[in-house]
Amino acid sequence: MTLPPTAHASPAPDPTGSPSAVDAATAPVSVLVVDDEELTRAGLRALLSVQPGLEVVGEASDGTEVLPRVRQWHPQVVLMDVRMPRLDGIEATKLLRAELSRPPKVIVITTFENDSYVWDALLAGADGFIRKRAPVAQLAQAVRLVAHGDSLLFPEAVRRLAAQHPAPPARGIGGTGAAALTVREEETLRLIARGLSNQQIAHRMAVRRETVKTHVGNVLGKLNADNRTHAVVIAYETGVLVPGAVAGPDGAGGPS
C-alpha cells in the first residue's frame, strides 16, 4: 500500500484556544494511544514517537479512560483499539462526540479489516481505521492524514467494508436529510467517497476551494455526520451511495 505525500499536520490545541501562526506551522501531531494490552501500547508508543511530526502525549488502557485522558492532554488524534473489556472503542468514540464540542480525530486500530466492530465504530463517528500489523510508516502517515482532515482515509477499504454491510432495500435515507442534498452536494459526496481532497474536488468541479468547503459542510449537516468518513459511511449505510457504483480514488486518501 502506498500512501500519499505527508499532509501538513494541524496544530496541537492551545489551552487558550488561540495558537500562534508559528505554533500552527511547527507543532507535531499529538496522539493518544488506547489499547487494553500493555505490550501493544508500549510498542505503538515507541514506534510512533520516533516518527517525524508526531508526538505521543499519553496512553489509556480502556475506553473508560479515554475521555479523562483527552481532557487532560488534548490530543489531536486518538489511536483507538476497537475491542476492550469494559468500554470498547465504539462507545468511547460516541462518548467523545457527545461530551466534547471539538473532539479529537479517532483512528480505530483492529486485527481484522472486516471486523463488524470497525463498521460500527465508523458509524459512531471514527475518522478511519487501520490494521494493527500495518507498517509503521503507513500508520504514521494515516495519523498525519487524519489530523489534516481533508481526505478520506483508505477509501477503497471503506468501500469494501461497506459492501460487506449492504443497506437493506427498504432502509432508505430515513432522517439523515440526504433527500435535501443539492446536485452539487451529491457530487461532492461522491468525490469525498473516492478519497479526493477539497483542492482536488475544487479542480474536478471547476469551483473555488471555499465553495467546496461550503458543500462539504452542507453534506455533513444534512447527513448528521461528524466528519467526512462518517458522512460516507452513513451514505453507504442508508443506500445513498452504492459501493460498486463509486469509482476508485484519484490518488488521495491512500489506497489500501
Place of cell 481532497: 197
Listed range (2-16, 98-112, 149-163, 206-220) with the worst mean pLDDT = 2-16
Helix (H, G, I), strand (E, B) or coil at 169: coil
CA distance 189 to 179: 13
Residue 138 near residue 1 (C-beta atoms within 8 A): yes
Q: What is the pLDDT of residues 154-212, one digit of tens each?
A: 899 999 999 888 766 544 444 556 668 999 999 999 999 999 999 999 999 999 999 99
CA dihedral 83, 71, 95, 166 (to 10 degrees): -60
Residue 40 near residue 132 (C-beta atoms within 8 A): yes
Q: How many CA atoms lie less than 13 Å away from 237 in the CB half-sphere?
A: 17
Check residue 114 and report its DSSP letter: T
Please list the alpha-helical segments (H only) found in 86-197: 89-99, 116-123, 136-148, 155-163, 183-193
Task: Tell whether the model's pLDDT for residue 139 goes beyond 80.
Answer: yes
Task: Tell whether the model's pLDDT for residue 106 goes beyond 90.
Answer: yes
Phi, psi of 33 (to 5 degrees): -100, 125
Residue 155 near residue 127 (C-beta atoms within 8 A): no
pLDDT at residue number 12 = 41
Q: 112, 148, 146, 142: which is closest to 48 by C-alpha?
A: 142
β-bridge partners, 30: 55
Phi, psi of 151 (to 5 degrees): -145, 155
Place of cell 508559528: 22
CA distances from 195 to 1, 54, 120, 140, 240 (A): 15, 23, 20, 18, 17
Percentage of residues of the chain with pLDDT beyond 70: 80
Q: What is the pLDDT of residues 16-73, one digit of tens each?
A: 344 443 344 468 999 999 999 999 999 999 999 999 999 999 999 999 999 999 999 9
Buried b (16+ CB within 10 A) or exposed e, 162-188: beebebeeeeebeebebeebeebbbeb
pTM of the model: 0.81
